[in-house]
Amino acid sequence: MTARARLLDYVLLAGGLGLAWVLLFAWAGPEALSPPGATLRRVAEYLTSPQFWPHAAATGIAFAYACLIALIGGLALGFALGANRLAGQVGEPILSSLYSIPKITLYPVILLVFGLGISAKVAFGALHGFFPVALFTIGALKNTSPVLIKTARVLRLAPLATARTVLLPAALPEIVTGLRIGFSATLLGTLIGELFASDQGLGFMLIRAMEAHKVLDIMALTLLLFAFAATANMLLLAVERRMHRR
Amino acid sequence: MIRVRAFQLALVGGAIVALETLCRAGIIDRFTMIPPSEMLLALAGVMGTEPWFWPDVSYTLGNLAAAIALSVAGGFLIGLVVHAIPRLRRVLDPIFTSYYSVPTFVLYPLLIVFFGIGPASLIVLGALFGIVAMIVATVTAIDRIPRVLLKVARVSRLGPVRTALLMKLPAASPHLMTGLRLAVAYSVIGVIAGEFILSTEGIGRRVALAYNNFDNQTMYALLVLILAFAIAVNAVLGSLEQALHRRWYRS
């Protein structure tokens, strides 16, 4: 596919979404939705107002900590369970059922354990991102071709050298997929954490707009968050595709 | 296999016993967590004595059933359309790949403005959560139908309806099942989260109420119930899915 065709696809997508928005607005009215133009102007106001950035920074810091914990913890557990067949067989089903539970209901427990404030947000974000990273890492190591492992054995590579020169490069593309999904899930968790018990951050701004029934503010914040999450996701996806091609 | 099961049982059992000991010893105080055994007793108590329990459970399950039906049926139909039009598929692809990375919950306030507080908002939120997983799974499922089956259908002169029912649907079933499992899991998350955030009824609502009233007994009882439900549903659908995959992709 040429770059031009891809650009056209994006233009079509943006146009279609814009059209859907306008039609939905015409149908639902200003009580339920804000019009695209005014929403974009409010987004621009946010981006230039000095009150906005401390909130964005608060979310950013919590998100960065949560990401670090989720990614490093998930990778460590994933490698530990993925390298050993029995450990993987025992651990993987437990992890995947933990992954499937509605984590939002655990939020009160997180609050009771960590109290109000940044640590609860970080913990909740990390809780969301940890499981997909671990599960994808296990899957990636499990799917490593046996030929590669046999080759490493024939070459008499030490375990650490095997991990570094054979397992890691073979598993890396799928691990990157896990990191991308973990990244997104962590962002989701951090924002949900801010929705409930927080006094700053983008989630807090959103819940305040919700309580005051300011449709324009809700829409502008939603658009901003969607745009950020989608852009980050597309960038990570591009990295991932490059690795899969190699 | 038996050894794996034994290890799993030991691991989960050990974690629960450890939690029980920590709670009983007072290392985890009662305001933070009650011992697991008391959670079960509290659950039995809530089930037997609280008049709101069964109505709220049926409220949540009803919304859940509607959300799952909407997301599975809608996702399947949209998946068929998307697969049939390659152009549409290419254009929509960015939405499918980044859908689960955007916080869909933030749409909930808009849904409330739209549909009001009540079942409709919760059902739509649950369905919105589940539907994209089903769309993607449907598209993948049709992609993976072996070409040779379609040739067999043509050689046997099956009409389009019988080709779809006898050849395509069974061959697509493993990936459709994956979609179904994901759609159910996401709908559960959507409905219960919606109730938790803002609702007048439902089990998720009861958890939020119990938390706000510092009623740890009720809160942990309901949490145990929700977790057990989600894990059981996932386990049942997961084993069905694996059975289908094994039947079709025996190596």
pLDDT in tens, B92-119: 888 888 788 777 777 787 788 788 888 9
Of B92, B95, B219, the CB nearest to A108: B219
Chains A, B: CB pairs < 8 Å = 140
What range defines the domain where residue B236 resides? 53-248
Q: Looking at CA atoms only, how far is residue B108 from chain A in angstroms?
A: 10
Q: Which of B15-29, B62-76, B88-102 has the lowest mean pLDDT?
A: B88-102
Chain B positions in Cβ-Cβ contact with residue A104 (cut-off 8 Å): 189, 192-193, 196
Chain A positions in Cβ-Cβ contact with residue B189 (cut-off 8 Å): 102-104
Chain A positions in Cβ-Cβ contact with residue B110 (cut-off 8 Å): 32-33, 215, 218-219, 222
pLDDT band for B32, please (50, 70, 90 cuts): confident
Q: What is the CATH number of the domain that holds B109?
A: 1.10.3720.10
Question: Would you state the pLDDT for residue B237?
Answer: 92
Residue B47 forms part of a structural domain: no
Q: Looking at CA atoms only, how far is residue A114 from chain B in angstroms?
A: 9
* CB proximity list for A143: less than 8 A, separation 6 or greater: A171, A174
Residue B42 forms part of a structural domain: no
Interface test with B, best of A90, A100, A109 (most B CBs within 10 A): A100
B232: tokens are 């059981």
Query: Residue written as tokens 């499922």?
Result: B141
Q: Quick check: A230 and B188 CB within 8 A?
A: no
The residue of chain A nearest to residue B9, with distances taken between CA atoms, is A90
Chain B positions in Cβ-Cβ contact with residue A102 (cut-off 8 Å): 188-189, 192-193, 226, 230
Domain count, chain B: 1
pLDDT band for B205, please (50, 70, 90 cuts): very high
Q: Quick check: A108 and B110 CB within 8 A?
A: no
Of B114, B192, B235, the CB nearest to A28: B114
Q: Does B251 touch chain A (CB under 8 A)?
A: no
The residue of chain B nearest to residue A224, with distances taken between CA atoms, is B102
> If contacts are CB pairs under 8 Å, which of residues 17-36 in chain B contact chain A?
31-33
* CB proximity list for A147: less than 8 A, separation 6 or greater: none
| Angle (nearest 5°) at CA A21 between A18 and A23 | 110
Phi, psi (rounded to 5 degrees) for A34: -105, 150
pTM: 0.85
Residue B33 forms part of a structural domain: no
Of B103, B196, B204, the CB nearest to A188: B103
Residue B202 forms part of a structural domain: yes
Residue B12 forms part of a structural domain: no
Residue B137 forms part of a structural domain: yes
Chain A positions in Cβ-Cβ contact with residue B4 (cut-off 8 Å): 86, 89-90
Of A13, A94, A191, the CB nearest to B94: A13
Q: Quick check: B231 and A101 CB within 8 A?
A: yes
First-to-final CA distance of chain B: 19
Residue B38 forms part of a structural domain: no
Of B8, B208, B219, the CB nearest to A90: B8
Residue B67 forms part of a structural domain: yes
Q: Within 10 A of B181 (CB to CB), how many other CB atoms are there?
A: 20
Average pLDDT, chain B: 89
Q: Quick check: A112 and B103 CB within 8 A?
A: no
| Closest to B33 (Cα-Cα) out of A39, A22, A109 | A109
Q: Is the pLDDT of residue B180 over 90?
A: yes
B233: tokens are 């549903």
Cα torsion A232, A237, A242, A243: sign: positive
pLDDT digits (tens), chain A, 246 positions = 577 887 888 888 888 888 988 888 888 777 778 888 888 899 999 988 888 899 999 999 999 999 999 999 999 999 888 877 888 888 888 888 888 888 888 888 888 888 877 888 999 999 999 999 999 998 888 878 788 888 888 998 887 888 788 888 888 888 888 888 898 889 888 888 888 767 888 888 888 887 787 888 888 988 888 888 888 888 888 888 888 776
Task: Concatenate the DSSP letters of all residues of chain A into one string.
Answer: --HHHHHHHHHHHHHHHHHHHHHHHHHH-TTT---HHHHHHHHHHHHH-TTHHHHHHHHHHHHHHHHHHHHHHHHHHHHHHHHSHHHHHHHHHHHHHHHHS-GGGGHHHHHHHH-SSHHHHHHHHHHHHHHHHHHHHHHHHHTS-HHHHHHHHHTT--HHHHIIIIIHHHHHHHHHHHHHHHHHHHHHHHHHHHHHS-SSSHHHHHHHHHHTT-HHHHHHHHHHHHHHHHHHHHHHHHHHHHHHH-
Question: Would you state the pLDDT for residue B53?
Answer: 92
